[in-house]
C-alpha cells in the first residue's frame, strides 16, 4: 500500500436527522462545514483543532476523526507510520447537527484519499457502510457523505441510502448548551400507540414529497408523534420555540436529538431566544468533498 505525498483536505457538511416524522431514516445535509486536513508523516500523531469543540475534544488516538481513519486504514490494508491533522470545526457539538457524523465521514473519506488508489480499494458503498458501523445508525452519516436529502436504512447488516435533490432553505436556532444523544434517546418509550406510528409513516412520506416539489405541504409534513414531545423535558426552551414557530405557521422541527430547532423558512431569525446562535443555511448538495491542500 502506498500513501500519497503531501496534505489532503476533506470538507464535510453538517446534517439534520429525523426532520420531524422521519425518525432514524431521513437526513438533510446543510451548508455548514467542518474541514479536516491530513498528511502522512514519518512517525507520531499531531492534532490541531480550531473552532467548535476545540477545548473539549481529545488530541490523541481517541479523537473521533482519528478513530474513523484507523478503521478505514485497517480496511485499506494498513495504517501509516504517522499522521498530522488540522481540524477546523464550524459544526456545533452536541446540538443535533451531526458533528459526530461529520467527524466519522471526514475520517473515513480522508483516510481513503491518503492512500493511492483508495477509491478502488474502498468504494463509496463500502465507505458508507463503515461510517454507519462506526456511528451506529445511518441517517446523519448518509447526509454528510452524499449530500442533499437522504433516506437511509439497514437491511440486515447492510446500510442502504437513497439520495434526492432539494433546494429548501432553512434557519437553525442553536442553543448555548448541549444535550447528549444518549440522554435524548433515553427519554423515548419502548412502545408507541399504533395510531402514532401510522400517523408518522404518512407524514414521513408526505415530507419527502414536500421537500422535493410541494413545499406548501411542509407545515403538515413536519408533524411528529414519535419522539419530539417525549424529549421536551430535556430541552424545554427548544420545545417552547418549536411550538411558537409552528403556531405561527412556520414548519419547524427539533434537529436530530436536539436541542437545535430547525425551521424550513427564512426571515424568522428574530424569534431566537437570548443567547442562541442563528444560521440561515441552504442545503449542501455535494456531501463530503476531497481536495489537495
Same domain, 94 and 195: no
What are the tens digits of pLDDT across the range 163-207? Answer: 999 999 999 999 999 988 888 888 999 999 999 999 999 999 999
Segments forming the whole domain that contains residue 223: 170-281
Q: Band the pLDDT of 293: cuts 50, 70, 90.
A: low
Do 17 and 157 belong to one domain?
A: yes
Cell 457502510, residue located: 129
37 and 113 assigned to the same domain: yes
For residue 213, being part of any structural domain is answered with: yes
| Domain identity same for 12 and 136 | yes
**Domain harbouring 88, CATH code:** 3.30.230.10
Residue 217 has a pLDDT of 98
Summarised one tens digit per residue, pLDDT across range 82-107 is 999 999 999 999 999 999 999 999 99
Task: Tell me whether residue 92 is annotated as binding.
Answer: yes
Distance, CA of 56 to CA of 64 (rounded, Å): 12
C-alpha distance across the termini of the chain, in Å: 22
Q: Provide the phi-psi class of 232: left if phi over 0, else alpha when psi is between -120 and 50, else beta.
A: alpha
Residue 94 assigned as binding residue: yes
180 appears as a binding residue in the annotation: no
Assigned domain for 196 exists: yes
Average pLDDT over residues 205-231: 97
Give the pLDDT score at 183: 82
Average pLDDT, integer, range 199-226 = 98
Q: Are residues 58 and 75 both part of a single domain?
A: yes
Say yes or no: 15 and 156 in one domain.
yes
39, 146: one domain: yes
Sorting pLDDT into bands at 50, 70 and 90, what band is 1?
confident
Over residues 19-47, the mean pLDDT reads 98
Does 177 map to a domain? yes
| Residue 97 assigned to a binding site | yes
Predicted confidence at residue 149, as pLDDT, reads 98
Note the pTM of the prediction, 2 decimals: 0.96
Q: Is 6 known to sit in a ligand binding site? A: no
Q: Judge if 46 and 157 occupy the same domain.
A: yes
- pLDDT per position as a tens digit, 241-287: 999 999 999 999 999 999 999 999 999 999 999 999 999 999 999 99
**184: annotated binding-site residue?**
no
Q: Is residue 218 part of a domain?
A: yes
Q: Is 19 annotated as contributing to ligand binding?
A: no
CA separation for the pair 30, 197 (Å, rounded): 28
Mean pLDDT computed over 66-74: 98
Number of domains present in the structure of the chain:
2
Based on the fold, state whether residues 37 and 160 are members of the same structural domain. Answer: yes
In terms of domains, do 53 and 175 share one? no
Q: Binding residue per annotation — 96?
A: yes
Q: What mean pLDDT value characterizes the chain?
A: 96
**142 annotated among ligand-binding-site residues:** no
Contact 257, 283 (CB under 8 A): no
Q: Are 185 and 155 within one domain?
A: no
Query: For residue 69, which phi and psi values (nearest 5 degrees)?
Result: -60, -45
Pull the grid cell for residue 117: 488508489
CATH of the domain at 190: 3.30.70.890
Q: Are residues 207 and 92 part of one domain?
A: no
163 carries a ligand binding annotation: no
Residue 181 falls within a domain, yes or no? yes
Q: How far apart are CA 45 and CA 283, in angstroms?
A: 34
29 annotated as ligand-binding: no
- The pLDDT, as a whole number, for residue 248 is 97
pLDDT at residue 181, rounded to an integer: 80
| Domain annotation covers residue 1 | no
In a domain, 2, yes or no: no
Could you tell me if 239 and 246 are in contact, meaning their C-beta atoms sit under 8 angstroms apart?
Answer: no
Q: Would the pLDDT of 140 be above 70?
A: yes
Assess if residue 3 is contained within a domain.
Answer: no
C-alpha cell at 280: 440561515
Amino acid at each position: 500500500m502506498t500513501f500519497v505525498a503531501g496534505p489532503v483536505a476533506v470538507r464535510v457538511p453538517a446534517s439534520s436527522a429525523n426532520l420531524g416524522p422521519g425518525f432514524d431514516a431521513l437526513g438533510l445535509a446543510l451548508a455548514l462545514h467542518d474541514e479536516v486536513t491530513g498528511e502522512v508523516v514519518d512517525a507520531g500523531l499531531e492534532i490541531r483543532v480550531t473552532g467548535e469543540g476545540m477545548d473539549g475534544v481529545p488530541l490523541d488516538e481517541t479523537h473521533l476523526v482519528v478513530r474513523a481513519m484507523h478503521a478505514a486504514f485497517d480496511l485499506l490494508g494498513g495504517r501509516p507510520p504517522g499522521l498530522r491533522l488540522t481540524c477546523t470545526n464550524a459544526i456545533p457539538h452536541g446540538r443535533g447537527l451531526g458533528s459526530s457524523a461529520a467527524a466519522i465521514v471526514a475520517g473515513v473519506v480522508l483516510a481513503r484519499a491518503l492512500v493511492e488508489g483508495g477509491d478502488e480499494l474502498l468504494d463509496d458503498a463500502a465507505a458508507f457502510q463503515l461510517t454507519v458501523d462506526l456511528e451506529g445508525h445511518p441517517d446523519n452519516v448518509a447526509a454528510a457523505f452524499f449530500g442533499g436529502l437522504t433516506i437511509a436504512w439497514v437491511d440486515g447488516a447492510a446500510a442502504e441510502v437513497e439520495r434526492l435533490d432539494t433546494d429548501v432553505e432553512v434557519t437553525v436556532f442553536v442553543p448555548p448548551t448541549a444535550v447528549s444523544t444518549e440522554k435524548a434517546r433515553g427519554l423515548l418509550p419502548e412502545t408507541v400507540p399504533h395510531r402514532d406510528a401510522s400517523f408518522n409513516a404518512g407524514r414521513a412520506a408526505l415530507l419527502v414529497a414536500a421537500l422535493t416539489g410541494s413545499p406548501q405541504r411542509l407545515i403538515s409534513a413536519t408533524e411528529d408523534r414519535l419522539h419530539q414531545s417525549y424529549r421536551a423535558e430535556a430541552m424545554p426552551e427548544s420545545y417552547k420555540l418549536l411550538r411558537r414557530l409552528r403556531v405561527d405557521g412556520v414548519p419547524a422541527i427539533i434537529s436530530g436529538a436536539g436541542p437545535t430547532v430547525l425551521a424550513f423558512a427564512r426571515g424568522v431569525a428574530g424569534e431566537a431566544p437570548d443567547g442562541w446562535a442563528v444560521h440561515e443555511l441552504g442545503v449542501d448538495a455535494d456531501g463530503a468533498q476531497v481536495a489537495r491542500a
